[in-house]
Amino acid sequence: MRARSGLVLLVVLLAVLLAVALAGVPVAHAQAAVTTSTGTLADGATWQIRVPADWNGTLLLYSHGYRAPGSPNPAQDVGDPVTGGWLLDHGFALAGSSYASTGWAIKDALADQAAALDAFEATVGHPRQTIAWGDSLGGMVAAGLVQRIPERLDGALAACGVVAGAVATWNQALDAAFAFKVLLAPDSALQLVHITNPAGNLALATQALAAAQTTAAGRARIALVAALNDTPGWANPTGPEPAPDDYASQQLSQYANLNGTFAFPFAFRAELEARAGGNPSWNLGVDYARQLERSVDRDEVEALYGQAGLSLAEDLRALNRTPRIAPDLDAVGYAIRNIVFNGRLGGVPVLSMHTTGDPLVVAQQERAYAQAVRAAGNTGLLRQAFVHRAGHCSFTPAERIGALQALLQRVDTGSWGEATTPEQLNAAAEALRPTLQVPTPSAFLAYTPGPYLRPFNLPPFVANAADPMRLDTAA
């Protein structure tokens, strides 16, 4: 437990430092009258609502990201104070709940955020328009609310969201974890599913990772593990992306990124399994040679294996020969319900945004979400924006607000126009930078993510899959 607590504190500290670096000094706001209301829902979740005296009639319902099991869990109505201050100064009302639990709290979050809307209407009144937005797991919740209660929403902004859905996300994490154990920790007691000691399991994984990084063969295999999850070779949000052929720097960044995200496959998976009643993930039928062929990191892996004098073909054969992991189907059903996307948006315009170098929720997730939306015939309702930066949810307040303004234009006019082009998003964000005192230039760019390696999107007509295994389809 001590190891996990230390990891959580490190992640929180890094997030704070990153926020300071990107956002600059917090701005003093002149908003004179903001009414703050708080309360508790029937399931124990708390909520917070803030309404400025000159409320413009728009409610922004914020869904927060993943909180490690057992960590503090306050209600949250905005992602950062600089963004929140600007929004209140400009007449927007803010609301959000804590969710009733920590961890993979999607089931609670979807119910509690809907209940937070009820609390707003009971406390303040009916908004003129309601925008769901959120970060990370909260981006997944915002997209999930569009799928569940579109009639209560006018738009959604899903930032750095887990929009490939629960099944795909945990399947792809399993692929990387499986390769890690087979190639780098074959004789260890490391558990991939049905984890009994999360803190101890994570310690085993991080020790094996550190040991592997000390040899050329180990570094090549770490690159293969990263490639099977599309973990980016860029780790410093304030530094430049390594050159396309700078494989040593890319691998070092992947090592850092895996070290920072291993808690999810090797520790936090246990919390999800406890909720789901078993293991929701599988790698039955996966051809790892084909997965590498489709990965954006293939060239790096091939180069590093060559430099190490290691046979990539033999390692891929070893992965394909190793006995596979089957899921518990009831647990798969839980993951589908909480939540997998079918592309039905209920007429609600959605803008998603992602950093290109996100190590935790890779940018390729956006490709999976777009495929689901396209299959449902809703492409016109979706726009996706990308920021050229490393880091998970490492947007500046100016970029966040600029994206929100583009979505509000679509809500107000019924047309996206040119508002979501990189040029217009950068122009909007740059116009905000002086007021917000943001030192970091806006970095929206035209970008097409590679394929998500383990997509799992429900057909638009499916609510719950009777046979989930049949729905694992290639991009």
285 φ/ψ sector (left φ>0, alpha ψ -120 to 50, else beta): left
> Cα–Cα distance between 380 and 205 in angstroms, integer?
43
Judged against a pLDDT cut of 90, whether residue 274 lies above it is answered with yes
CATH superfamily of this structure's domain 2-164+355-449: Alpha/Beta hydrolase fold, catalytic domain (3.40.50.1820)
Each domain of the chain, given as residue ranges in start order, spans 2-164+355-449, 167-335
Q: How far apart are CA 99 and CA 117, in angstroms?
A: 13
**To 10 degrees, the CA torsion angle through 155, 159, 165, 168?**
150
- Whether the CB-CB separation of 396 and 362 falls below 8 Å is answered with no
* Dihedral sign for Cα atoms in the order 222, 228, 229, 234: positive
Q: How many percent of the chain have pLDDT more than 70?
A: 90
Average pLDDT over residues 171-200: 98
Closest CA to 202 of 357, 8, 358, 16: 8
pLDDT at residue 465 in the model: 43
Helices (H), 277-381: 288-294, 298-308, 312-321, 329-337, 365-375
| pLDDT value of position 191 | 98
Q: What pLDDT score does 461 carry?
A: 61
Identify which of 137, 30, 180, 106 has the alpha carbon closest to the alpha carbon of residue 393.
137
Q: What pLDDT is attached to residue 462?
A: 55
Taking Cα atoms as reference points, which of 192, 359, 399 lies closest to residue 281?
Answer: 192
Q: Which residue has the tokens 């993979």?
A: 104
pLDDT digits (tens, 9 = 90+) for 278-314: 999 999 999 999 999 999 999 999 999 999 999 999 9
Q: What is the pLDDT of residue 32?
A: 58
Give the span between the Cα atoms of 97 and 280, in whole angstroms. Answer: 27
Could you tell me if 341 and 147 are in contact, meaning their C-beta atoms sit under 8 angstroms apart? yes
Mean pLDDT of the chain: 92
Q: What is the pLDDT of residues 148-158, one digit of tens each?
A: 999 999 999 99
Segment 434-452 shows an average pLDDT of 97
Note the pLDDT of residue 3: 39
pLDDT exceeds cutoff 70 at 230: yes
Q: How would you classify residue 346: left for phi > 0, otherwise alpha for psi between -120 and 50, otherwise beta?
A: left
Residue 414 pLDDT: 98
Buried-exposed string 219-240: b where 16+ CB fall within 10 A, e elsewhere: bbbbbbbbbbbbbbbbbebeee
Residue 235 confidence (pLDDT): 98
- Counts of helices then strands in the chain (DSSP H, E): 17, 9
The residues near 6 (Cβ < 8 Å, ≥ 6 apart) are: none
Q: Look at residue 394 and tell me whether its pLDDT is greater than 90.
A: yes
Q: What is the pTM of this model?
A: 0.92
Give the per-residue pLDDT at 460.
79
In order, the DSSP letters of 367-413 are HHHHHHHHHTT-GGGEEEEEEEEESTT---HHHHHHHHHHHHHHHHH
Q: What is the pLDDT of residues 323-333, one digit of tens each?
A: 999 999 999 99
pLDDT of residue 325: 98
Buried b (16+ CB within 10 A) or exposed e, 326-335: ebbbebbbbb
Residue-level pLDDT at 434: 96
- Show the CA angle centred on residue 207, arms to residues 162 and 73, nearest 5°: 40
Has residue 87 got a pLDDT over 50?
yes
Q: pLDDT > 90: what percent of the chain?
A: 89
Among 16, 46, 340, 52, residue whose Cα is nearest residue 168:
340
Query: Residues 42-56: pLDDT tens digits?
Result: 999 999 999 999 999
> In this model, does residue 360 exceed pLDDT 80?
yes
User: pLDDT band at 189, cuts 50/70/90?
Assistant: very high
Between CA 120 and CA 95 the distance in angstroms is: 8
The neighbour count for residue 423, using CB atoms within 10 Å, is: 11
Q: Which of 95, 160, 84 is nearest to 122 (CA)?
A: 95
AA identity, residue 445:
L
User: What's the whole-number mean pLDDT along residues 340-348?
Assistant: 97
User: Which residue from 17, 150, 31 is spatially nearest to 92, judged by alpha carbons?
Assistant: 31
Q: What is the DSSP letter of 50?
A: E
User: Which range among 27-41, 156-170, 364-378 shows the weakest confidence by mean pLDDT?
Assistant: 27-41
Indicate the residue type of 115: A
- Cα separation, 251 vs 249, in Å, equals 5
Alpha-carbon distances of 165 from 153, 160, 189, rounded to whole Å? 20, 13, 29
Q: Is the pLDDT of residue 378 over 90?
A: yes
